[in-house]
Structure 1
Amino acid sequence: MNVTQIKKQLGYLCALMLIASTTSGADPVIFPSAKYPDYPFSEAVAYGGVLYMSGDLGTDAGGKLVEGGIEPESKQTMENIKTTLKRHELDMNDIIKCTVFLADIAEWPVFNEIYASYFEGGRYPARSAFAASGLALGARVELECIAALQSGDE
């Protein structure tokens, strides 16, 4: 087994350990989407001390995609994440993992600069980024985050 294969196996093991450690036997707490009540997903689900947030786009309060491309969409997406966290009495420092979906991976540097500005002191969550085709509403970016709940927030 080479180093890459070992790292991959360790990643799988860590993910399984996280799932096992967060399984408390309690029912998940589901938070419906206020912005998109007619769509079949929840804004977030709390379970086992973790808040799993649905992917968010750079949409305004009315659910309309902001204009101007990757930069304004990225800023609005990050603000939307902050707003969701605030509703759950959390902040950006509580995020432990993000997954980024970009319509064009060439726009990653622009998104990355904006993303980095939302985290204090270089304290960044784990993150993956993918190029994706056909994001909802014709968006340039979608961001999905997982946050650690503070004790008793479930």
Structure 2
Amino acid sequence: MKTLIKTALLASVLLTSFAQANPSNVDFLNTGKANPNLPFSQIVKAGNTLYMSGQIGINPATGKLAAGGFEGEAKQTLENIKRTLEQHNYSMSNIVKCTVMLTDINDFKAFNAIYTQYFSAPYPARSAFAVKALALDSVVEVECIGSL
């Protein structure tokens, strides 16, 4: 967890530094489908880099976590990433790095089976961490970095 916090802080510092040095090269991308009450952007485009906020397995039709346990949530999480990218005219092929957070590291093998349905070789770089808890009691969260 400490490593995850350090990574998030470093990314935040780097993005803030870049944004201050190049404010005209930073775009905060949100669709009307994003919840305006949440304090983050769907994607921040800084130069040729895309920073995506973490996604969990919320079914956009119901506003609740997807049915089907871990597999259902993992598929919905990756569908949400794909949909968000497409809403901004990007695709899964733009992704170069993923960070995966699992509440049960024993789900890692099952996640890999689903992950390979959304990405193909050469795969993005990736890190995976076991965490104590995630927002809305989700069991998986994925955040991504992309390149144009």
**Interval containing the TM-score (normalised by the shorter chain):** 0.7 to 0.9
Cα offsets for 1:91-132 (capped at 9, x unmatched): 111101000000100111101110012123x22000000001
Q: Which moved more, 1:25-34 or 1:99-108?
A: 25-34
CA distance in 1, matches of 2:57, 2:146: 19
CA distance in 1, matches of 2:30, 2:65: 20
Counterpart of 2:116 in structure 1: which amino acid?
A
Structure-to-structure mapping, 1:20-31, within 5 angstroms: 23=18, 25-27=22-24, 28-31=26-29
CA distance in 1, matches of 2:127, 2:44: 20
Cα offsets for 1:49-103 (capped at 9, x unmatched): 1110000011111431112211011111111110011012111111010000001
Contact 2:133 2:139 in 1 (8 A): no
Q: 5+ unaligned residues in a row in structure 2: which ranges?
A: 1-9
Cα offsets for 1:10-43 (capped at 9, x unmatched): xxxxx99xx69xx472342112363322111111
Question: What SS class does the counterpart of residue 114 from structure 2 fall into?
Answer: helix
Match of 1:55 in 2: 54
Match of 1:98 in 2: 98
TM-score (norm. length: structure 1): 0.77
Question: What SS class does the counterpart of residue 57 from structure 2 fall into?
Answer: coil
Match of 1:5 in 2: none
CA distance in 1, matches of 2:119, 2:142: 15
Match of 2:108 in 1: 108
Number of aligned residue pairs: give it. Answer: 131
- Which protein has the larger Cα radius of gyration, Structure 1 or Structure 2? 1
Contact 2:103 2:130 in 1 (8 A): yes
TM-score (norm. length: structure 2): 0.80
Identical residues among aligned pairs (%): 47
Q: Which moved more, 1:93-102 or 1:25-34?
A: 25-34
Whether 1:81 aligns to 2:81 is: yes
Give the aligned CA root-mean-square deviation in angstroms. 2.3
CA distance in 2, matches of 1:84, 1:76: 12
Match of 1:71 in 2: 71
